[in-house]
Amino acid sequence: MFEVLRNETLAPQVHRMVVRAPRVAKARQPGQFVIVRLEEGAERIPLTIADADPVAGTITLIIQAVGLSTQRIVAVQAGGFIRDVAGPLGKATEIHNVGKVVCVGGGVGTAVLFPLAAAAARAGNEVTTIIGGRSAPYVILRDELAQFSKEVLVTTEDGSLGVKGFVTAVLEQILNDPARKPAEVFAVGPVGMMAAIVKLTRAANVKTVVSLNPIMVDGTGMCGGCRVTVGGKIQFACVDGPEFDGLAVDFKELSDRQATYKDHECKLTGK
Ligand code: NAD
Ligand code: FES
C-alpha cells in the first residue's frame, strides 16, 4: 500500500498528489512513469512521475480526472492509500546539451513536460518553455517551470492569460526567428497539438521529441495495447517509449486508437 501524503487541486479536474513510494523515488529517471491501481481489480492507470524526492522517498503524480478510475484516484485524500504503484516504467529521456531547446506543454501534458524540461536545463541547455491551456485556470506549473527556464511563454484560447491562441502560434514565431530558433523541441500534450507542432518543426527542420500516452494495460510490452507506429515500425510506448521522434510518429493512427473506448467511458462517467 502506498500512502498519499498530499493532494491538491492544480486546475479544474487536475490534481497534484504526493505519494510515499521510496523505491520508485530512488530509481526513477526523467521521462519514466508508473502504473497505478487504486485497489485489487481496479483499472491500471499509467501516470508520468512529474517529480521525485529520493531523500523523502516520495513521488509526485499529476492526474487529470477524465474517466471513472482517475476520478476515484484523485478522491483519495492525504492519509489515504493507493493499492499499487508499479514502476518506474518506460525509457528515461535522452538528454544532451544541444544549446537552445524549446519545451512545449499543452494543458495537463505540461505535467509530463516538467521533468523533461528540468532535465534539459540541468544538462546545460537554454530552455524556453511555452505552455498553454483553454483559459487561465488550466495553465499549470508556470512558476515551477520559471525556476529553470530562460522564459515561460503562456497562451490561452480565450486570451485570459498570456497570448490569445494555441501554443503553436508562439512556437512558430520562435522557429522563424534565427536568433531564437532551437536545436531541439520537446512537445507534450493532446495528440492534435503534437501533430500540429511536428508540422511546424518538420518545415523548420528541427529535431522534435514527443511523449505519447496511448491506452496502456500491462505496461510491460506484452498486451500490445500501447502500440504506435514510428518510422513505419510498430513500437510499444510502455517499453520503447514513451518518448519518440515526433517527426516519425503516425499521429493519425494514434488519434484513432485513442478514441477506441470513448463511448464506453462516456457511458461510465455519464459525460
Ligand atoms: P486541451 O485540449 O485543453 O489543450 C491544451 C492546449 O494544447 C491548448 O490550449 C493549445 O494551446 C494546445 N492545443 C490543443 N490542441 C491543439 C491543436 N490541435 N493545435 C495546436 N495546439 C493545440 O488539453 P487538456 O484537456 O488539458 O489535455 C488533455 C489532453 O492531453 C488529452 O488528450 C490527453 O490525452 C493529453 N495528454 C497527453 C499526455 C502525453 O503524455 N502526451 C499527457 C497527459 C495528457
Ligand atoms: Fe501493454 Fe504497452 S501497455 S504493451
Segments making up each domain of the chain, as ranges: 2-89, 100-258
How far is ligand 2, taken at its centre, from the CA of residue 226, in Å? Answer: 5
pLDDT (0 to 100) of residue 268: 53
Query: Rounded to an integer, what distance in angstroms lies between the CA atom of residue 28 and that of residue 2?
Result: 16
Query: Rounded to an integer, what distance in angstroms lies between the CA atom of residue 32 and that of residue 200?
Result: 27
Rounded CA Rg of the chain: 18
Q: What is the pLDDT along the chain (271 residues), one digit of tens a residue?
A: 999 999 999 999 999 999 999 999 999 999 999 999 999 999 999 999 999 999 999 999 999 998 899 999 999 999 999 999 999 999 999 999 999 999 999 999 999 999 999 999 999 999 999 999 999 999 999 999 999 999 999 999 999 999 999 999 999 999 999 999 999 999 999 999 999 999 999 999 999 999 998 888 888 899 999 999 999 999 999 999 999 999 999 999 999 888 765 665 556 556 5
How far is ligand 1, taken at its centre, from the CA of residue 106, in Å? Answer: 5
Q: What is the pTM of this model?
A: 0.92
223 C-beta closer than 6 A to ligand 2: yes
Q: In CATH terms, is domain 2-89 a member of 3.20.20.140? A: no
CATH code of the domain made up of 100-258: 3.40.50.80
Grid cell of 152 as nine digits: 515561460
Provide the b/e sequence for 35-51 (b: ≥16 CB within 10 Å). bbbbeeebebbbbbbbb
Task: State which ligand 2 atom lies nearest to the alpha carbon of 215.
Answer: 3
Task: State which ligand 2 atom lies nearest to the alpha carbon of 223.
Answer: 1
Element (H, E) at 93: none
Element (H, E) at 124: none
Minimum CA distance residue for ligand 2 atom 1:
223
**CA 4 to each of CA 7, 21, 68, 76, 122: distance values in angstroms, whole numbers, following the listed order:** 7, 9, 19, 7, 28
Task: State which ligand 2 atom lies nearest to the alpha carbon of 219.
Answer: 3
211 C-beta closer than 6 A to ligand 1: yes
Starting from the CA of residue 65, give the closest ligand.
Answer: 1
